[in-house]
Amino acid sequence: MELRKLGSSDLKVSLICLGTMTWGEQNTEAQAHEQLDYVVAQGVNFIDAAEMYPVPPKAETQGRTEQYLGSWLAARHNRNALVIATKVVGPGAFPYLRGGPRLTRAQVLAACDASLKRLQTDFIDLYQVHWPERSTNFFGQLGFRASDDQATTPIAETLAALGELVQAGKVRHIGISNETPWGVSEYLRLAREQKLPRVVSIQNPYSLLNRSFEIGLAEFAHREPLPLLAYSPLAFGVLSGKYLHGARPADGRLTLFTRFQRYNGEQAELATREYATLAQQHGLDLAQMALAFVNSRTFLGANIIGATTMPQLRSNIASIEVKLDKEVLAGIEAIHQRFTIPCP
């Protein structure tokens, strides 16, 4: 498994990162542990979680994913060989989380302590802001609508709180997620001017169906450096091809949870059909081709894959061995020109 240095940090992370948001909803604790045992045996050292997981979020399951990871970590003796990442949520309809989550100093500190307890560890390698508190375009929004953010917690306060966690030894490095170019520039500016910790990664969506990261953020990733941790590289499983032609497998996420509409729609279907045809023409598995494309990006830090079954997981991990030739990459670009961002 290839290891890459994560930005300006001292972390070396596997190119494939194990995502965990199905644990506690679609996967049991035993299944989570089976996944962890398998990926570590394959050379994966990077595990990504969040305080709000599993998804879809609800009060009765909140934190269960971190608990499953924590019970596995507690049984291991080589914690230092692993890179454990988790996240503090921004505002949302989660009244069960601290009475309504914000990115204030008090809430960031409290959230970290709660995650540490669930994870049964003394430190978090990468602690990330899950999404901004201000109104901006993320979670499927391409357009920007100006709004009054006077009541929003300043990024400076959030970053200073993260700095306290680093100073206390509870967090080694910090990152951001679902951020915009302006947000990235603010985090970097404040770190310079106020001598606060520098963010070392950005976790945003990136796949054949959503290459919006390339507009503005890829240059930050390359020049700062601030590598991308790509989430939803299979677009909620759409790029496995299992939902083509209206199919809805009983155990599929889009079948079980109708709230997930981000990767639905006519343009997604049409683009996925073309990518499926391209993969078939070159004797490739569609999901592995999609993952291999993400793996090939120069601005990538790690590709966050997730699976609900072991066959899915084994196939996704094996994508590391797939190298796309010039003809396949040219085919991908030709489809991308016709379907540029079908699923923001």
Nearest to 64 by CA among 123, 118, 122: 118
pLDDT for residue 3 is more than 90: yes
Nearest to 330 by CA among 294, 278, 291: 278
Here the tokens at position 186 are 């603010």
Average pLDDT over residues 235-254: 78
pLDDT for residue 7 is more than 90: yes
Would residue 53 show up in a list of annotated catalytic residues for this protein? yes
Average pLDDT over residues 196-205: 97
Tell me, what's the pLDDT at 124? Answer: 98
Tell me, what's the pLDDT at 34? Answer: 97
Mapped onto helix, strand or coil, the DSSP state of residue 211 is coil
Higher pLDDT, residue 101 or 236: 101
Which band of pLDDT confidence, cut at 50, 70 and 90, is reported for residue 236? confident
Alpha helices in 42-132 (DSSP H): 64-74, 105-119
Tell me, what's the pLDDT at 282? Answer: 97
- Tell me the DSSP string of 237-264: TGGGTTTGGG---TT-HHHH-TT--TT-
Alpha helices in the chain (DSSP H): 29-41, 64-74, 105-119, 155-167, 181-194, 217-223, 253-256, 266-281, 286-295, 310-318, 326-338
**Per-residue model confidence as pLDDT tens digits over 120-160:** 999 999 999 999 998 777 777 777 777 767 688 999 999 99
Q: How many Å is the maximal CA-CA distance in the chain?
A: 55
Considering 53, 187, 206, 231, which one is annotated as catalytic? 53
**Per-residue model confidence as pLDDT tens digits over 50-90:** 999 999 999 999 999 999 999 999 998 788 999 999 999 99
Tell me, what's the pLDDT at 78? Answer: 84
Average pLDDT over residues 86-108: 94
Contact assessment for residue 101 and residue 92, using Cβ atoms and an 8 Å cutoff: yes
pLDDT for residue 103 is more than 90: yes
Which band of pLDDT confidence, cut at 50, 70 and 90, is reported for residue 266? confident
pLDDT for residue 208 is more than 70: yes
Tell me, what's the pLDDT at 242? Answer: 79
For the chain, the straight-line distance linking the first and the last C-alpha, in angstroms and rounded, comes to: 30
What are the extents of the domains in the chain? 3-237+298-322
Residue 174 contacts by C-beta under 8 Å, 6 or more apart in sequence?
126, 127, 128, 129, 159, 162, 165, 166, 197, 198, 199, 200
Tell me, what's the pLDDT at 243? Answer: 77
Here the tokens at position 39 are 């990926």
- Burial, 288: exposed, middle or buried (Cβ in 10 Å; 0-12, 13-18, 19+)? buried
pLDDT for residue 253 is more than 70: no
Q: How many residues does the chain have?
A: 344
Rounded to an integer, what distance in angstroms lies between the CA atom of residue 6 and that of residue 226? 8
- For tokens 């999901």, the residue is 287
Tell me, what's the pLDDT at 66? Answer: 98
Say which CATH superfamily domain 3-237+298-322 falls into: NADP-dependent oxidoreductase domain (3.20.20.100)
Mapped onto helix, strand or coil, the DSSP state of residue 221 is helix
Any idea which of 16-25, 165-174, 263-272 has the lowest mean pLDDT? 263-272
pLDDT for residue 9 is more than 70: yes
Average pLDDT score, the chain: 92
Rounded to an integer, what distance in angstroms lies between the CA atom of residue 89 and that of residue 111? 9
Tell me, what's the pLDDT at 259? Answer: 66
Tell me, what's the pLDDT at 241? Answer: 84
pLDDT for residue 325 is more than 80: yes
